[in-house]
Amino acid sequence: MNRQELVQLIRDRKSYLCIGLDTDMQKIPKHLHSHPDPMFAFNKAIIDATQDLCVAYKINTAFYECQGIRGWESLQRTIEYIPKTVFTIADAKRGDIGNTSAYYAKTFYETYGFDSVTVAPYMGRDSVEPFLGFSDKFAIVLGLTSNAGSADFQLQPAGDGLLYEKVLRTCASWGTPDNMMFVVGATQADSVAAIRKIVPDHFLLVPGVGAQGGSLKDISEKGMNGDVGLLVNASRAVIYAGNDEKFAEDARAAAQALQAEMATYL
Ligand SMILES: O=c1ccn([C@@H]2O[C@H](COP(=O)(O)O)[C@@H](O)[C@H]2O)c(=O)[nH]1
């Protein structure tokens, strides 16, 4: 999916909600455990219940990788089940020397068919560029993350500003808003004005609403640009809104509340 199609989808659905499929075998309802593929059964029910309310699904690969081959099979069934009209994110936080990054890009864009993959930029230009050479695909580079540890490096002084500002400025010069987005935590709303000065046109993937306490209102008011420019992720707050037979209904209600609030900001 390209940027124009994503913007149109957001306008049509009055939503910039990304639902995170952080599917945890310890948390899915007990009655699904007898299913041949419990993770996929859970994801399928969530997707069926929410697909008209969101514009993206984010699969955090850690939850699948830890299950070995069965987890990768659940991931594959899930990505194949998500409608092609919805934007997909492999939250894998990859990045390595160039030839290795090229295989990470091929894995997520071609083998699995994701629209985007999250990329850790610490290894520099040659580690990020292999994710940029695919049409209608996006590298989503970690900018200012939602966790407390973001203060350890990202918020440290570097030259005239802070390290994360240098990361945003430098990475933005390697790509364009058509092939790159940035991760900015919802818990970092106070920094969003500074971020928008550096990357006014890029989409921001914003995790941290819900379980991590970030404010949808703050991030929407401070982070939106002319093309909306935001994908706000909620994982646990949506997919674990309930944990019994009606978990999918509960997930829909949680997603609907977020979408309804988003509609007021558009
Ligand atoms: O800075 C970051 C980068 C990624 N994440 C990921 O987003 C979701 C958030 O889950 P919630 O349950 O909505 O808190 C999860 O997959 C994280 O690994 C992040 O939180 N912050």
pLDDT at 120: 98
61 within ligand 1 shell (Cβ under 6 A): no
154 within ligand 1 shell (Cβ under 6 A): no
Q: Looking at the CA of residue 185, tell me the nearest atom of ligand 1.
A: 1
Q: In percent, how much of the chain has pLDDT > 70? A: 100
* Residue 240 in tokens: 């674990």
pLDDT at 188: 97
Q: Which among 168, 266, 148, 265 has a CA at the least distance from the CA of 218?
A: 265
23 within ligand 1 shell (Cβ under 6 A): no
CATH superfamily assigned to domain 3-265: Aldolase class I (3.20.20.70)
Q: What is the pLDDT of residues 196-218, one digit of tens each?
A: 999 999 999 999 998 899 999 99
Q: What is the pLDDT of residues 94-125, one digit of tens each?
A: 999 999 999 999 999 999 999 999 999 999 99
For 261, other C-beta atoms within 10 Å of its C-beta total: 16
Q: Which among 35, 39, 37 has a CA at the least distance from the CA of 25?
A: 39
| pTM exceeds 0.95, yes or no | yes
State the Cα–Cα distance between residues 65 and 182, nearest whole angstrom.
24
Q: Looking at the CA of residue 212, tell me the nearest atom of ligand 1.
A: 14
The residue from 14, 27, 44, 93 that is catalytic is 93
* Three-state secondary structure readout of 103-126: HHHHHHHHHCCCCEEEECHHHCHH
Task: Label residue 20 by pLDDT band (50, 70, 90).
Answer: very high
Q: Looking at the CA of residue 146, tell me the nearest atom of ligand 1.
A: 1
pLDDT at 123: 98
Answer yes or no: 106 catalytic: no
Q: Tell me the average pLDDT across 221-237.
A: 98
Distance 125 CA to ligand 1 centre (A): 24
pLDDT at 168: 98
ipTM above 0.90, yes or no: yes
Q: What is the pLDDT of residues 238-266, one digit of tens each?
A: 999 999 999 999 999 999 999 999 999 99
Ordered by start, the domain boundaries in the chain are 3-265
